[in-house]
Amino acid sequence: MALIVKKFGGSSVATPEKIMAVARRVLQEKKPDDKIVVVVSAMGDTTDDLISLAKAVTNQTQGREMDMLLATGEQISIALLAMAFTKLGQEAISMTGFQAGITTNEFYNKAKITGIAPDRVLKELDAGKIVVIAGFQGLTETGDITTLGRGGSDTTAVAVAAGLKADHCEIYTDVDGIYSSDPRVVPTAKRMKEITHNEMLEMARLGAGVMHPRSVELGKHYGMPIHVRSTFSNESGTFIREEYTMEEKEFVIRGVTHDTNVAKIAVLGVPDRPGIAYKIFSALAEANIDVDMIVQSVRAIDKHIIDMLFTIAQGDVPPARTILEKLKEEMSFIGLTIDENVAKVSVVGAGMLGNPGIAAATFGALADANINIEVISTSEISISCLIDATKVEQAVNAIHSRFFPG
Which residues of the chain form contacts with its own copies (CB under 8 A)?
Answer: 15-17, 19-20, 50, 53-54, 56-58, 60-61, 64-66, 68-69, 71-72, 75-76, 78-80, 82-84, 86-87, 93-94, 96, 98-99, 120, 143-145
Alpha helices (H) along 88-247: 119-126, 152-163, 197-205, 213-222
- How far apart (Å, rounded) are the C-alpha atoms in residues 20 and 254? 37
The smaller minimum CB distance to its own copies, of residues 121 and 348, is found at: 121
Closest CB 318 distance from its own copies, rounded Å? 22
The smaller minimum CB distance to its own copies, of residues 96 and 311, is found at: 96
Closest CB 116 distance from its own copies, rounded Å? 15
Closest CB 24 distance from its own copies, rounded Å? 12
- Between helices 16-29 and 64-87, what is the axis angle to 10°? 60
Closest CB 142 distance from its own copies, rounded Å? 8
Closest CB 112 distance from its own copies, rounded Å? 21
The smaller minimum CB distance to its own copies, of residues 36 and 385, is found at: 36
The smaller minimum CB distance to its own copies, of residues 148 and 308, is found at: 148
The smaller minimum CB distance to its own copies, of residues 53 and 287, is found at: 53
Closest CB 86 distance from its own copies, rounded Å? 6
Alpha helices (H) along 206-356: 213-222, 276-286, 317-331
The smaller minimum CB distance to its own copies, of residues 22 and 320, is found at: 22
What's the Cα-to-Cα distance from 21 to each of 28, 46, 78, rounded to whole Å? 10, 19, 14
Say how far residue 139 (Cα) sits from the centre of its chain. 21
**End-to-end alpha-carbon separation of the chain, Å?**
42
- How far apart (Å, rounded) are the C-alpha atoms in residues 317 and 403? 34
- How far apart (Å, rounded) are the C-alpha atoms in residues 128 and 92? 8
- How far apart (Å, rounded) are the C-alpha atoms in residues 7 and 23? 12
Closest CB 57 distance from its own copies, rounded Å? 5
The smaller minimum CB distance to its own copies, of residues 53 and 353, is found at: 53
3-class secondary-structure state, position 240: strand
CA atoms within 13 A on the CB side of 164: 31
The smaller minimum CB distance to its own copies, of residues 145 and 226, is found at: 145
The closest of 377, 351, 373 to 364, measured between CA atoms, is 373
Closest CB 139 distance from its own copies, rounded Å? 9
DSSP H/E element including 38 = strand 35-40
